[in-house]
Every structure is written in C-alpha cells, then in structure tokens.
Amino acid sequence: MRVGILGGTFDPIHLGHLIIAENARTSLDLEEVVFIPTGQPWMRPDAPLSPSHHRLNMVRIAVASNPFFRASSIETDRPGPTYTVDTLEELLREGGEGDSFFFILGADALDEFPQWKEPGRVLKLCTLVPAKRQGWGDLNMPPLSFVDLSAAQKVVMLETPTIDISGTEIRHRVVRGLSVRYQVPDEVERYMQHYGLYRAPEGGE
C-alpha cells in the first residue's frame, strides 16, 4: 500500500489538516492517510497540550466520514518523547513491510529535519512530502544534504491551497468567545464545547 502519514499535536485538528491530507491522497495516489496525534513532542517538551485522549478523539471524529482516512493512537500510547523514526519502525512491525510510507509535513519543517532522531533512517523508511503553498518558489533543500547527499530523491513536493488556519489561533478564538465555525469540522466544534476545551486555561482541561 501507498500510505500517507500526517502527524501533529492536532490541538485541535482543523480543516487545514484535512485539506492537506486529501490533497496528498489524490496527488500521490495514496490508498490511505493515517493521522497520528503526537504524544510528547520532543522538540517542545514543555509546550502545554490538551490531554492526548481529547486530541485523539477529535481526530477520530474529524476523519470518520472519509473512508481513506484513519486515526492512530500509536504515539499517544507510547510513553516518553515522540520520535518519527520510532513511529515508522512500529508501523512496519504492525504488518506494513510491503507498504510505502509518505510522511507529510510543513515545508518549514525541512530546516529542522537534520535535528530529528536518526534522520538518515527516516529517509530510508519513508518519502518526505513537504506541503508548500501554491505560488511559492523552490524550497530550501540544503539542510537535507547534511543528512544524505541523495536525500532530495526521497522528497516529493506537494503544493497546497493557501490555508490560513492554525491551532493556536483557534485556541485563542475560543478563549475570547469567538466563533471557530468553518475552521474545524462541526462535530469537532461540538466536542470542544461539550468538554469545555480551550476555554480556560488555554491548552485544555
């Protein structure tokens, strides 16, 4: 199978995530896109996050209507910091030895890629799919050359519509009592309201 992987804090998941995932699915002929909420992000160990079960539940709700999408608790179930290489290795052990993995990430994350745990191993396990906004020029590839001189061959650029939505802004709007309609799926908005997420203090219950 050709499997897309979209990770993130998803605090909360929003329409921008879903648009990027669907664009990747159709552009790269993916048979499935797996949404993986992070457990404890190693690059932001002290960042306040909503409880993992809420973030995972919101992802499950958001992807339920798309038969090509699914949510995974692979990282929220794992104790300690979350590393992409460990997630990819675990996915292979779960029976995906014949699968081709396409790891979808923000284009700006390429600059940080050499700092990831075992970036060379990550490149062997998957193809990186940086999502860049339509109309942008070529992305900055030199950081990848520090990992592997042939790294550019394991990168597929994905042009996406301009989607000016962020989890941070959504949380701020909820704190201020502003509408987030058309920024998150309706079912996710109802979940947030039911559990009082992001009301106060910011970051969850």
Positions in the chain short of pLDDT 50: 202-205
Q: Which residues contact 151 (CB under 8 A, 6 or more apart)?
A: 123, 141, 144, 145
Q: What is the per-residue pLDDT for 121?
A: 92
Q: What is the per-residue pLDDT for 138?
A: 58
DSSP at 170? H
Q: What is the per-residue pLDDT for 202?
A: 42
Q: Is 2-164 assigned to CATH 3.40.50.620?
A: yes
Rounded Cα gap, residues 181 and 89, in angstroms: 37
pTM (two decimals): 0.90
Q: Which residues contact 30 (CB under 8 A, 6 or more apart)?
A: 2, 3, 4, 24, 68, 102
Q: What is the per-residue pLDDT for 80?
A: 86
Q: What is the per-residue pLDDT for 142?
A: 53
Q: What is the per-residue pLDDT for 54?
A: 97
Q: What is the per-residue pLDDT for 154?
A: 85
Can you give the residue ranges of every domain in the chain?
Answer: 2-164
Tell me how crowded residue 191 is: count the other CB atoms within 10 A of its CB: 19
Q: What is the per-residue pLDDT for 42?
A: 67
